[in-house]
């Protein structure tokens, strides 16, 4: 029997320190510097998630798409980690993933004092306990984090291992906050799936319209515009959630986090005012943001990493909505950061929606590490944190879409016509995407059927004049590249059919969409 969850009781544990206490601990960190705004900016040795080092702890690898280690191997690593922590000062942060009493999950982070910034960031992200809940708190999921303990024989001597039977994740030899945040959400994914819902790697916003308020869910891989799309305002929209949501069989949507984990590279106050202003608040916590000796931040410097981050509470957004305001979702938007023939917006029928959700096509960014940055990826649901078989994601979304009255759209946040080096190619800019989101919410986009893929493409988007980014065939035709376009259409259909062969348990109604 696995003892992966066995935690000694004689550790030196610092329970639930305040933000002021955590800030004093951060001040002692040699890699922490104060910005001119009074916030802390920490430079980490690891600057992105470590996919090759991430495993499930299971003796049944056939039940998981993610790579696995055995229970025996997990026990060995757990014993090593427990022994290492026996003489270390460890911080305990308790809180909730989710704020709804029916679906919130008691969560705990245990981390070395040497990474007090991660404790402060996680405290920002959790919904807090009530004062009376501190005594006798029993977590439903736990993350144990030792950034200075190597895991020999693993990639980069690093290991992130999750056992969903006991709901414990152990993290070795990385000081990147994303591993703490995503470890908790990976386990929460399993809990939501077991309750009949589907976890969505998604933001959420409420958009006022003349036909009432509309709730939009925006799914996308980290770095593809999910946070930007969520926080960019249309009709004084209210962002509600940045990263993960639960969609349940009755159409109800539940949020997970009280804070936001935003990429800072290219952050511009003119196009991303809300995120920019929250990032320069004194209560924000920054990670790997370029900064000079005077504490001035440079959001365009790439000399260290493009994956700088800011963590702030949603209260830092003046018009942020409350998770309790979400009753049901009106639309699901699937982001695809592409650079060829995907239109800036397309409308999908139910079968197409499940298929494109399962495809999860996009271009990788620095958030996924060097192995993903700039590469064409297919990640089901754009959710690399789903701990079971990815086939189950596709089948569950098809099942729920059959029960829920919700429109689904595909949006390209990259380019049309090729990479920047191609003169006639065009970038899909934030105002373009914003016009598409506004049109989706208000129902003002006019549609026509695309002859190549069968989904609906826009013939008119109020506020968007360049029709070549909404009808890519037109761009290629005008540039005398129609043969190239047709070759790409044929290749994509063939590749997508071949891709679905990886998922033998996927419903045939999904796999047949591209025939």
CATH assignment at residue 355: 3.90.228.20
DSSP E strand stretches across 264-369: 285-287, 290-291, 297-298, 309-313, 331-336, 346-348, 361-363
Same domain, 22 and 162: yes
CB count in 10 Å sphere of residue 507 = 16
Same domain, 391 and 368: yes
Query: How many separate domains does the chain show?
Result: 3
SS3 for 203? strand
User: Would residue 460 count as lying in a domain?
Assistant: yes
Report, in angstroms and rounded to the nearest whole number, the Rg of the chain calculated over CA atoms.
Answer: 23
Nearest by Cα to 354 from 375, 327, 381: 381
Same domain, 253 and 340: yes
Same domain, 377 and 490: yes
C-alpha to C-alpha distance for 375 and 372, rounded to whole angstroms: 6
Predicted model pTM: 0.93
User: Would residue 6 count as lying in a domain?
Assistant: no
Same domain, 136 and 245: no
User: Would residue 186 count as lying in a domain?
Assistant: no
User: Would residue 410 count as lying in a domain?
Assistant: yes
Same domain, 74 and 219: no
Same domain, 213 and 170: no
User: Would residue 385 count as lying in a domain?
Assistant: yes
Range of the domain at 136: 12-30+50-175
Same domain, 427 and 393: yes
Write phi, then psi, for 19 (nearest 5 degrees).
-60, -35
Same domain, 342 and 298: no
Low-confidence stretches of the chain (pLDDT < 70) are 1-2, 131-132, 364-374
Same domain, 296 and 209: no
488 CA to centre of own chain: 29
At 371 the pLDDT is 53
172 CA to centre of own chain: 22
User: Would residue 459 count as lying in a domain?
Assistant: yes
At 163 the pLDDT is 98
User: Would residue 185 count as lying in a domain?
Assistant: no
Q: Of 175, 190, 217, which one is at a domain's C-terminal end?
A: 175
User: Would residue 340 count as lying in a domain?
Assistant: yes
- How many helices (H) and strands (E) in the chain? 12, 30
Sign of CA dihedral 44, 46, 47, 53: negative
- Residue bearing tokens 């809300």: 274
Q: What is the CATH number of the domain that holds 309?
A: 2.170.8.10
Same domain, 163 and 227: no
Same domain, 269 and 401: no
């Amino acid at each position: 029997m696995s003892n992966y969850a066995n935690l000694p009781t004689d550790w030196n544990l610092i329970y639930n320190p305040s933000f002021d206490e955590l800030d004093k601990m951060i001040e002692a960190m040699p890699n922490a510097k104060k910005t001119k705004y009074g916030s802390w900016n920490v430079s980490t040795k690891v600057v992105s998630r470590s996919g090759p080092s991430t495993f499930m702890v299971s003796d049944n690898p056939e039940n998981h798409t993610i790579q696995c280690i055995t229970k025996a191997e997990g026990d060995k690593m757990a014993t090593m980690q427990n022994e290492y922590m026996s003489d270390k000062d460890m911080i305990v942060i308790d809180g909730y993933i989710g704020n709804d009493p029916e679906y919130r999950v008691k969560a705990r982070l245990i981390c070395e004092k040497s990474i007090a910034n991660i404790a402060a960031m996680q405290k920002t992200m959790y919904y807090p306990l009530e004062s009376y809940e501190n005594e006798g708190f029993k977590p439903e999921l736990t993350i144990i984090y030792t950034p200075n303990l190597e895991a020999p024989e693993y990639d980069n001597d690093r290991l992130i291992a999750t056992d969903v039977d006991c709901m414990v994740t152990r993290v070795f030899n990385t000081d990147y906050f994303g591993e703490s945040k995503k470890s908790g959400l990976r386990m929460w994914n399993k809990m939501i799936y077991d309750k009949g819902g589907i976890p969505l790697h998604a933001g959420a916003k409420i958009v006022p319209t003349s036909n009432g308020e509309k709730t939009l869910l925006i799914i996308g891989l980290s770095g593809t515009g999910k946070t930007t799309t969520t926080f960019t305002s249309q009709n004084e929209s209210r962002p509600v959630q940045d990263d993960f949501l639960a969609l349940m069989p009755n159409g109800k949507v539940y949020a997970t986090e009280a804070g936001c984990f935003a990429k800072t590279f290219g952050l511009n106050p003119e196009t991303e005012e809300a995120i920019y202003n929250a990032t320069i608040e004194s209560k924000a916590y920054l990670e790997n943001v370029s900064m000079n000796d005077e504490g001035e931040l440079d959001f365009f410097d790439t000399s260290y990493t493009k994956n700088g981050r800011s963590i702030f509470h949603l209260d830092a957004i003046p018009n942020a909505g409350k998770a309790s305001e979400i009753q049901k979702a009106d639309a699901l938007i699937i982001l695809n950061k592409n650079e060829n023939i995907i239109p800036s917006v397309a409308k999908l029928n139910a079968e197409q929606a499940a298929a494109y959700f399962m495809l999860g096509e996009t271009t990788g960014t620095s958030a996924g590490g060097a192995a993903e940055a700039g590469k064409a990826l297919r990640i089901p649901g754009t959710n690399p944190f789903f701990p079971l078989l990815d086939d189950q994601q596709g089948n569950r979304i098809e099942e729920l879409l059959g029960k829920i009255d919700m429109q689904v759209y595909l949006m390209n946040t990259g380019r049309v016509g090729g990479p920047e080096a191609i003169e006639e190619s065009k970038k899909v800019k934030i105002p373009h995407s914003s016009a598409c989101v506004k049109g989706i919410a208000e129902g003002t986009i006019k549609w026509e059927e695309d002859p190549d893929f069968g989904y609906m493409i826009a013939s008119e988007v109020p506020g968007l004049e360049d029709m070549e980014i909404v009808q890519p065939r037109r761009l290629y035709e005008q540039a005398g590249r129609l043969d190239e376009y047709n070759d790409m259409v044929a290749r994509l259909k063939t590749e997508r059919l071949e891709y679905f062969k990886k998922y033998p348990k996927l419903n045939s109604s999904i796999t047949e969409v591209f025939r």
